[in-house]
Amino acid sequence: MTLPAAGPGIPLDLGYWSVMSENPSPPPPGQLTFAAPRRAKPPRHLADLSTAERREVVAGLGEKPFRADQLSRHYFARLTDDPADMTDLPAPLRDKLVDELLPTLLTPINEQTADRGMTRKTLWKAFDGVLFESVLMRYPDRTTMCVSSQAGCGMNCPFCATGQAGLTRNLSTAEIVEQVAAGARSMARGQVPGGPGRVSNIVFMGMGEPLANRANVLRALHRITDPSPGGLGISQRSVTVSTVGLVPAIEKLGEEGLSVRLAVSLHAPDDELRDTLVPINNRWKVKEVLDAAWAYSKKTGRRVSIEYAMIKDINDQAWRADMLGKLLKGHLVHVNLIPLNPTPGSKWTASRPEDERAFVRGLEAHGVAVTVRDTRGREIDGACGQLAAASKD
């Protein structure tokens, strides 16, 4: 779920229309695509598998199952990607296991930086040439990775660069996890200014609607949060899954027993406008989406984030702030207002500062917590709603 945000005078990336040659032509307005096109699957990787499944694979190779845990610790805990460093595995066995369980899944083909190197957007190429992006953002107190769950997106939100390019395919579990692992390796090796560190937070707000690729995203959540050797051991409470509002999938996520945060990209409090801004609203209306979010919050005890792109003269009127405040008041909720990011060809721009301030006041009048989000990465098109896998090389 890519989120939008924008500002005047920011260079637009005009390249993305031509580089997503793998993608179908842009979908007609309002058309939703749920089923990802069938394509060849990426090679199997240990991050696709649970700990038990990895042991089974290793046993099937005629090796002791504990070797799977050794390999997993290298990948998840030591953040090793060079087989030569796996010295506790005998060399012939190491090569065999690496061939079977650690294929190279992603190749970085471009990296752009901003904020003195603290924001880094990576353009990845998968085994089949598909392109997608992740963004690492280092702050004084945390480092957040924004990851993609699909190449492209089928939800077709008209303000979003990703949505306009259509859906190419779902990412595999390991393709999602590898974005995080790559960021974790960069941090551990001190490749991001500020010295060695760790990735502490994950947001599924890159390309794609995570709940439209639910099975792989669920497995990825386990790999990201399970302790070693199962996974990277990042706290579930530091992971946010964003959605435009696939109600049955929100309900199923609530049954998983996870404590990840849910973020709902609402963008309008009324069905009339949301039907246009977020086409999935024609399937599940504002009330249904919010009811599912409140049920999720009740089950998990987690506060729901409401993401709201501030679009000049479209959804930023004081009466809509009042309407939104009435819908949200009394719930465990926080609103993130996001100044609309520029995307190529878009007719929409960010709200005027005075309208933004009035909107904040309108929500606060109902006792609703609200923050205007910092638009990190805007100049490298790494901000929400700008990820479109544009090749710059």
Query: What is the CA angle 115-119-125, rounded to 5?
Result: 140
Query: What is the CA angle 117-120-123, rounded to 5?
Result: 145
Using CB under 6 A as the binding rule, whether residue 254 contacts ligand SF4 is answered as no
Q: How far is the CB of 268 from ligand SF4 (least distance, A)?
A: 13
- Write 92-98 long-range contacts (CB < 8 A, 24+): 93/63, 93/67, 96/61, 96/63, 97/58, 97/61, 97/63, 97/67, 97/71, 98/71
Using CB under 6 A as the binding rule, whether residue 147 contacts ligand SF4 is answered as no
Using CB under 6 A as the binding rule, whether residue 180 contacts ligand SF4 is answered as no
Q: Please, which residue, 145 or 192, has the CB nearer to ligand SF4?
A: 145
Residue in 352, 361, 274 with CA at minimum distance from that of residue 6: 352
Using CB under 6 A as the binding rule, whether residue 244 contacts ligand SF4 is answered as yes
Q: How far is the CB of 20 from ligand SF4 (least distance, A)?
A: 13
Catalytic residue chosen out of the listed positions 100, 133, 178, 307:
133
CA of residue 63 relative to chain centroid, distance: 36
Catalytic site includes residue 354: no
Using CB under 6 A as the binding rule, whether residue 162 contacts ligand SF4 is answered as yes
* Residue bearing tokens 């957040």: 144
Q: How far apart are CA 319 and CA 326, in angstroms?
A: 11
Q: How far apart are CA 1 and CA 26, in angstroms?
A: 17
Identified binder of ligand SF4 from the candidate list 46, 137, 160, 202, rule CB under 6 A: 160
Q: How far is the CB of 275 from ligand SF4 (least distance, A)?
A: 14
Q: How far is the CB of 319 from ligand SF4 (least distance, A)?
A: 24
| Stretch binding ligand SF4 (CB under 6 A), from 88-96, 153-161, 254-262, 331-339 | 153-161
Using CB under 6 A as the binding rule, whether residue 209 contacts ligand SF4 is answered as yes
Identified binder of ligand SF4 from the candidate list 155, 177, 211, 258, rule CB under 6 A: 155
- The SS3 of residue 203 is strand
Using CB under 6 A as the binding rule, whether residue 2 contacts ligand SF4 is answered as yes
Catalytic site includes residue 153: no
Catalytic residue chosen out of the listed positions 146, 153, 157, 384:
384
DSSP string, 33-84: --SPPP-PPPPP-GGGS-HHHHHHHHHHTTS-THHHHHHHIIIIIS----GG
Using CB under 6 A as the binding rule, whether residue 72 contacts ligand SF4 is answered as no
Kindly list the residues in this chain that would bind ligand SF4 in the complex (CB under 6 A): 1-2, 153, 155-157, 160, 162-163, 208-209, 244, 385
Catalytic positions, please?
Answer: 133, 384
